[in-house]
């Protein structure tokens, strides 16, 4: 069979990736610039035996996604700025109730209605802390249409394994970019589906030991009885006020990411071995950095690129290692400075941390970035 090569938009590749990962439910409400994800899912899901529901708003959209996830579907929703804000409360519900699902945010410039057709990366901290309360977060940022496909597959895998909502933080630049993509053949990319419990229904505890990461958990309506609630709960899912059980639950949530950091590091490193000027970039903004790092090398500047594909949890150790060897780290973001705070947090030495930001709806040009590289060489 010849390779399946197509010209796809980032948003379309996201939908194709979801289908590849076995997604069988989409609930949402269309919003620019994420609409093509919903359109493609509406077209593709019925052909693959899945269900698509357009709800009355984004709150209902994420609610149906969580309901489907709890009932055993591989579920997703897609939105942008204002819709993402509306989804925040139920994102926390998904964390508390430990429901696997994928939320796609195709970031546009905000705040509020902002610039619906223009891109930004200004929801990065919202992805980490947008819902209230301590909670784990997993978020990924694709920098190409091909990655929009592969990281969507990965988002579903992580959601299943870590048993929590995963956020795919696209941006308008990649969401609406069209590139040539070779669709992976079935089996080429790993598709992970969590195991179902093998114990007798009477012995099953939905939030029992070993069910948090990589363990077996049951879908609602399959004979296993349990409760799910947004209230802090015990291993059966029933509300609790006992301090030992509260601590148990909160530590269990934190451990999802904190105890599994090595498998949650996904960073592209280019030209880093001898790099004195390191560009830190992600998502659509990284396309400028990929160009600039090559321009810099051609000019004899020892530049390198650190590009996290998983941004939450933040790759502390990887960034710290690069900082320790660099003279300067230039943090390239399409916002007024969000992940730069994380870079500064892990910067223990005297490495200069320099923001290179743009927040007018346009992407930073290679010339603009090279000016900053030259100034910090």
In the complex, the residues that contact another protein under the rule CB under 8 A are 5-7, 32, 116-117, 173, 176-180, 287-288, 290-291, 294, 363, 365-367
Q: Give 7 or 261: the residue with its C-beta nearer to another protein.
A: 7
- Smallest distance from another protein to CB 323, Å: 24
Cβ proximity of 224 and 204 under 8 Å:
yes
Assign residue 248 a region: left if phi > 0, alpha if psi is -120 to 50, beta otherwise? alpha
Q: Give 7 or 199: the residue with its C-beta nearer to another protein.
A: 7
Tokens 């992970």, located at residue: 192
Listed as own residue / partner, the contacts of 335-338 with beta carbons closer than 8 Å and 24 or more positions apart are 335/120, 335/121, 335/122, 335/124, 335/359, 336/122, 338/121, 338/122, 338/124, 338/125
Tokens 């291993």, located at residue: 235
Rounded CA separation 359/235 (Å): 45
- Smallest distance from another protein to CB 376, Å: 20
- Smallest distance from another protein to CB 266, Å: 20
Q: Which two tokens stand for residue 220?
A: 């609602």
- Smallest distance from another protein to CB 270, Å: 11
Indicate the DSSP class of residue 201.
Answer: G
Q: Which of 217, 3, 266, 265 is nearest to 99 (CA)?
A: 217
Q: Give 83 or 100: the residue with its C-beta nearer to another protein.
A: 83
- Smallest distance from another protein to CB 7, Å: 4
Rounded CA separation 331/306 (Å): 10
- Smallest distance from another protein to CB 79, Å: 17
Rounded CA separation 366/219 (Å): 49
Q: Give 32 or 85: the residue with its C-beta nearer to another protein.
A: 32
Residue 219: CB atoms within 10 Å: 16
- Smallest distance from another protein to CB 84, Å: 19
Q: Give 290 or 347: the residue with its C-beta nearer to another protein.
A: 290
Cβ proximity of 31 and 71 under 8 Å:
no
Instruction: For 18-84, give the DSSP string.
Output: HHHTT--EEEE---TTTHHHHHHHHHHGGGGT-EEEE-SSHHHHHHHHHHHHHTT--EEEEE-HHHH
- Smallest distance from another protein to CB 176, Å: 6
Cβ proximity of 252 and 240 under 8 Å:
no
- Smallest distance from another protein to CB 290, Å: 4
Q: Give 39 or 291: the residue with its C-beta nearer to another protein.
A: 291
Q: Give 173 or 312: the residue with its C-beta nearer to another protein.
A: 173
Q: Which two tokens stand for residue 233?
A: 């709960």
Q: Give 17 or 284: the residue with its C-beta nearer to another protein.
A: 284
Q: Give 180 or 254: the residue with its C-beta nearer to another protein.
A: 180
């Amino acid at each position: 069979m010849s390779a399946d090569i197509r010209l796809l938009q980032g948003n379309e590749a996201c939908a194709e990736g979801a289908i590849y990962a076995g997604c069988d439910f989409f609930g949402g409400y269309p919003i620019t610039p994420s609409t093509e994800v919903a359109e493609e899912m509406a077209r593709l899901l019925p052909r693959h035996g899945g269900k698509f529901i357009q709800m009355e708003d984004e709150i209902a959209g994420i609610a149906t996604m969580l309901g489907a996830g709890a009932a055993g579907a591989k579920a997703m929703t897609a939105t942008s700025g204002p819709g993402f804000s509306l989804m925040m409360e139920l994102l926390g519900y998904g964390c508390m109730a430990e429901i696997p699902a994928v939320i796609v945010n195709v970031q546009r410039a905000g705040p509020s209605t902002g610039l619906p057709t223009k891109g930004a990366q200004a929801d990065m901290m919202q992805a980490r802390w947008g819902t209230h309360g301590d909670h784990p977060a997993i978020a990924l940022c694709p920098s190409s249409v091909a990655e929009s496909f592969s990281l969507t597959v990965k988002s579903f895998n992580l959601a299943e394994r870590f048993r929590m909502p995963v956020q795919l933080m696209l941006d308008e630049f990649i969401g609406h970019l069209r590139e040539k993509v070779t669709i992976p053949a079935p089996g080429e990319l790993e598709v992970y589906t969590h195991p179902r419990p093998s114990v007798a229904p009477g012995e099953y505890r939905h939030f029992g030991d070993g069910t948090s990461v990589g363990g077996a958990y049951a879908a609602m309506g399959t004979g296993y009885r349990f409760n799910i609630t947004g209230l802090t709960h015990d291993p059966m899912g029933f509300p609790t006020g006992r301090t030992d059980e509260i601590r148990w639950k909160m530590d269990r949530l934190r451990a999802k990411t904190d105890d599994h950091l090595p498998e949650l590091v996904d960073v592209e490193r280019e030209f880093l071995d001898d790099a004195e000027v390191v560009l830190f970039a992600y998502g659509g903004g990284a396309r400028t950095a990929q160009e600039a790092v090559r321009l810099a090398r051609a000019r004899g500047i020892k530049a390198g690129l650190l590009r996290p594909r998983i941004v939450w949890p933040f790759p502390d150790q990887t960034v710290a290692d690069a900082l320790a060897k660099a003279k300067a780290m230039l943090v390239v973001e399409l916002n007024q400075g969000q992940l730069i705070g994380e870079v500064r947090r892990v910067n223990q030495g005297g490495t200069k941390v320099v923001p290179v930001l743009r927040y007018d709806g346009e992407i930073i040009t290679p010339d603009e970035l090279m000016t900053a590289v030259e100034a910090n060489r």
